[in-house]
Amino acid sequence: MSDSANSQKFWDELYSSRSSVWTGEPNDHLVKTVSNLSAGTALDVGCGEGADAIWLAKHGWHVTAVDISAVVLERAQDHAIQTGDELAKRIKWVRADLTESVPTEASYDLVYALFMHIPTAQRDVLFRSLADLVAPSGSLLIVGHHPSDLETSVNRWKMPDLLFTASDVAALLQPGQWQIIVEAADPRTAKGGDGQAVTIHDAVLHTLRLH
């Protein structure tokens, strides 16, 4: 993936070219994680069309939803408004490139980044910064495409640097400050490039901040 594919221009053009890009359903890993948490404040990193943020708001969370694309944030906000004013008020939409800077004025009970695939050097800085935003007793959830997917026929960028394991992310965290809840390569079924079903894996790290 080139630097241009990480740009606002790239994502604005992608979202402008389609009426929808994602399924409109909340991520399964997020739903599973939140089912064991009390509602609080959440930071949604790379919120896309807003399905995860809207789902959280429906379950009582107050969400700061961040994306690099102004086009998709407008779409996400429209989706939230369609669900009702009270729910929409629980979500703050923010356009920002978090590879350049992250908010420092707040902490969150849940910080999550789902399928955030950028070069390793940028990703390590970003994930460390996101960990710093988790409040004591709060959760960090990182999910991404596992490097083993490159050994399958599923459509992935043929750039190993963009993929990561849960252990890669766990290694970035300060020792003694976190309790690992889930550190896994979670299998699921997808459609390969030949149209046949193939088993792929999601890298999943859910960790609890101790102090």
Diameter of the chain measured on Cα atoms: 48
Helix (H, G, I), strand (E, B) or coil at 147: helix
Query: Where does the pLDDT of residue 163 fall: very low under 50, low under 70, confident under 90, or very high at 90 and above?
Result: very high
Give pLDDT, residue 136: 96
88-114 residue pLDDT tens: 999 999 999 888 877 777 899 999 999
CATH label of the domain that carries residue 195: 3.40.50.150
Give pLDDT, residue 22: 61
| Domain span including residue 69 | 3-209
Radius of gyration of the chain (CA): 17
Residue 4, pLDDT above cutoff 60? no
Cα separation, 32 vs 168, in Å, equals: 22
Give pLDDT, residue 10: 72
Query: Where does the pLDDT of residue 23 fall: very low under 50, low under 70, confident under 90, or very high at 90 and above?
Result: low
Query: What does pTM read for this prediction?
Result: 0.91
Please tell me the total count of domains within the chain: 1
